[in-house]
Amino acid sequence: MHFSPQALMLLRDRYLLPGEEPHQLFARVAGALRSDALRRDFTYVMEELLFLPNSPTLMNAGTKSGQLSACFVLPIRDSIGNIFQTLGHMALIHQSGGGTGFSFSHIRPRGDVVDGASGVASGPLSFIRVFDAATAAVRQGGKRRGANMGVLASSHPDIMEFINCKRNAGLDNFNLSVGYDAEFFRCLSSGKPYALINPRDGQVQDEIAAASLWNAVADAAWTCGDPGILFLDEINRKNTLPGYDSFEATNPCGEQPLFSYESCNLGSVNLTGCVRKGDIDMDLLRYIVRTGISFLDSVIDVNRFPLPEIREHTLDTRKIGLGIMGLADMFIALDIPYESAEALLLAERIMTFIQEESRAMSAELGEWKGSFPAIDRSIFTGDMRNATVTTIAPTGSLHLIAGTSSGIEPLFSLAYEREIGEQTIAFMHPAVEAAIGPDRASLPTDLLGEVRRTGSLQHINLPEHTKDLLKTAPEIEPAHHVRMQAAIQRHTDNAVSKTINLPETATVDDIKEIFGLARELMCKGITVYRYNSKDSQALRQGCDVCKINR
């Protein structure tokens, strides 16, 4: 078990209990799952950084809190009582380390009538701001800022206000997404007007050109990164529980569509750790996947749910989400450029394998322990322990602990800065050393300075294959980003968290093309971020002080 200085800093800042060492953390987590037969396997995959569960499990397993899930969706109905009851529930979930998603689509529009009062409705945006302010007062698990997803249906009369609400900053604790229905795309392709419907009475309040709404989302995303898009019709078409409920919202990063009051616990396989002697060790990958599925299923049985409604719905469906991290570093280890047809084929082959092994393991657990109670309302005809088994999370903190690239993203930058707690860390990717030679003393100062300044090798005199191998996210064609997301999504039960990172020079038309391609390739959602489109961003390309790490 080897940790980088950055990983140790993160572990001490957020995950380790007072006096705890990293190996004790993993023993604590494995022991809390009460699975003596698998404790050694659970401990091994974590200690070897081959698999890690989501942050609340690492933080809270074996503690008084005991809340181990990362993802929640809560309902919001069109009444003051329900809205503020949900606000209190959100605070409890954030306090325990979870993130929350909401659909505000049922709230009547701004200016609408209010029953039993002389005033008028203030609309969903006013309540989103209330939730945002409350989130700012409650840190997740006492360790990190709360996170939310706010969704508004594309047919809501306040949709244009929603689309543009983050242009001038604010709502720092919310990601926003427009939830599109199939009717919108019929209107977009035919040129017919698109109806905006008052959720209070189901009546058409106005009509809008679908193209103007589509253009407005692209323009706002170009300006500030929000909103993203959820293809709710596609999400519900792939619903494994069509007889149970339908989806209206996701967790904060969009990878986990959930029904109201559902929760889900996630974990990720470190693909870089599966590379052995220049190839992928499929037997090792199978072992990690099957161990990971058993691990995540065991979490459900020991979890302390923050609300009785969440306990009821989660035990009904027993959803879990096993994903991957280290995809980009795996490609580098195999000498395959991320932006290549070979990478797309390999990514899809690996995710097909993971999905098949995950389903097979869940079926075995279902035969042994019993299927999830709501299976009679699902697509499954045989035993199955979990209604869903795979999800691609962003692994924002986990990848740093594991010492690998995040989720399915390409390298963001070869040199970057990131804030951890009160400190800013600087890092240069180890592949830079291999690319420009191992003898550090002989490296020209201006060459290393260029990498530090730009985070890139593209303007350095190196073989083209080397530069292709180490292309960073903004240097990769946007269409390839989308195709990678689609290749993974085809073999993922839930959804895929991926950001289409764009250079500062990207245009609104570029973003519209990305949105259209994502729809064509049947992604469940899409998020773009144009570099420097916000005053503050988590990662910055280049750094002043970073050194090559051995």
pLDDT at 423: 78
Check if the beta carbon of residue 310 is closer than 8 Å to that of residue 262: yes
Check if the beta carbon of residue 396 is closer than 8 Å to that of residue 404: no
Of 165, 187, 224, 253, the catalytic one is 253
Please report, in tens digits, the pLDDT of each residue of the chain (550 residues total). 789 888 999 999 999 999 999 989 999 999 999 888 999 999 999 999 999 999 999 999 999 999 999 999 999 999 999 999 999 999 999 999 999 999 999 999 999 998 766 689 999 999 999 999 999 988 655 566 789 999 999 999 999 999 999 998 789 999 999 999 999 999 999 999 999 999 999 999 999 999 999 999 999 999 999 999 999 999 999 999 999 999 999 999 999 999 999 999 999 999 999 999 999 999 999 999 999 999 999 999 999 999 999 999 999 999 999 999 999 999 999 999 999 999 999 999 999 999 999 999 999 999 999 999 999 999 999 999 999 999 999 999 999 999 999 999 999 999 887 777 777 777 888 888 777 765 555 556 667 778 888 888 888 888 899 999 999 999 999 999 999 999 999 999 999 999 999 999 999 999 999 999 999 999 999 999 998 887 766 666 766 555 544 3
Q: Is 96 helix (H, G, I), strand (E, B) or coil?
A: coil
Q: Could you give the angle at which helices 478-489 and 341-369 cross, rounded to 10 degrees?
A: 20
Check if the beta carbon of residue 153 is closer than 8 Å to that of residue 202: no
Of 251, 270, 386, 501, the catalytic one is 251
pLDDT at 270: 98
Residue 253 appears among annotated catalytic residues: yes
DSSP 67: -
Kindly report the three-state secondary structure assignment for every residue of 456-467.
Answer: CCCCCCCCHHHH
Paired residues of 231 in beta bridges:
180
Q: Does domain 71-250 have CATH number 3.40.50.300?
A: no
Question: What predicted TM-score, i.e. pTM, was given to this entire model?
Answer: 0.95
Give long-range contacts, CB 8 A cutoff, 24+ apart: 285-288.
285/350, 285/353, 285/354, 286/353, 286/357, 288/45, 288/50, 288/51
Check if the beta carbon of residue 519 is closer than 8 Å to that of residue 491: no
Length of the chain counted residue by residue: 550
**H or E, element range at 488:** helix 478-489
Paired residues of 175 in beta bridges:
149
- Distance from C-alpha of 227 to C-alpha of 124, rounded to nearest angstrom: 15
Most distant CA atoms of the chain, gap in Å: 79
pLDDT at 168: 84
Of 234, 248, 255, 262, the catalytic one is 255
Residue 255 appears among annotated catalytic residues: yes
The CATH number of domain 1-65+265-351+385-501+508-550, selected from 3.40.50.80, 3.20.20.70, 3.30.2320.50, 3.20.70.20: 3.20.70.20
Give the type of residue at 192: K
Residue 194, phi-psi category: left (phi > 0), alpha (psi -120 to 50), beta (remainder) = beta
DSSP string, 368-411: HH---GGGGGSS--S--S-S--B-B---TTHHHHHTS--TTPPP
* Burial class of residue 462, CB neighbours in 10 A (0-12, 13-18, 19+): middle
* Parts of the chain belonging to CATH 3.20.70.20: 1-65+265-351+385-501+508-550, 71-250
| Closest C-alpha among 500, 490, 496, 477 to residue 521 | 490
